[in-house]
Amino acid sequence: MLSTLTSPQAAFWTEFEAATGHAGPPRGVDAFGDSPEMMDELLALVLSRTKQATASLARWFAYDPLGLPKPGDLWLITDGRGAPACVTRTTRVDVMPIHQVDADFAWVEGEGDRSYAYWITEHRKFWRREAAREGFEYSDDLDVVCERFELVWTQRAV
């Protein structure tokens, strides 16, 4: 996996391993959002520990050889330009239809005013953009992967 990282990402991961004693590649490299601006905004929420969860359509993992995320997975999170910013660890994964996500999860995801109303409105917009790009029909009946995580490392003390 380190061979698939950009040079700055590989250097960041090597520094993480040296600082923490962890050995092995990240589960993946990811950013939150679908525009550089959104990625930077959501990254700031992760770094402040306001955002401690993310929701992804389960269909996105259908062709992932590693399957769904699992507790213990380590992710290298980037900013909107792909520069490495932090490492997160998955702590819990729940899969359910979108319409079953609750206010507690919306709060932990930490976006906007942290309400369920904000969460469902903004996620519907996001997933409808994805559906238009990928050619599928959005529905609140689609399965969503509700992944909770903790911030475990940045180059700054956390």
Distance CA 29, CA 9 (A): 9
For position 71, what pLDDT does the model report? 98
Cα–Cα distance for residue pair 117/123, rounded to 1 Å: 10
- Domain range for 122 is 2-153
pLDDT digits (tens, 9 = 90+) for 48-96: 999 999 999 999 999 999 999 999 999 999 999 999 999 999 999 999 9
Distance CA 67, CA 152 (A): 22
158 lies in some domain = no
Number of domains within the chain: 1
157 pLDDT tier (thresholds 50, 70, 90): low
Q: What is the pLDDT of residues 33-51, one digit of tens each?
A: 999 999 999 999 999 999 9
User: How far apart are the C-alpha atoms of 153 and 158, rounded to whole Å?
Assistant: 6
Does a structural domain hold residue 49?
yes
Measured in whole angstroms, the distance separating CA 133 from the mean position of its chain's CA atoms is 19
pLDDT grade for 137, boundaries at 50, 70 and 90: very high
Residue 128 within a domain: yes
Q: How confident is the model at residue 113 (pLDDT cuts 50, 70, 90)?
A: very high
CATH code at 23?
A: 3.10.400.10
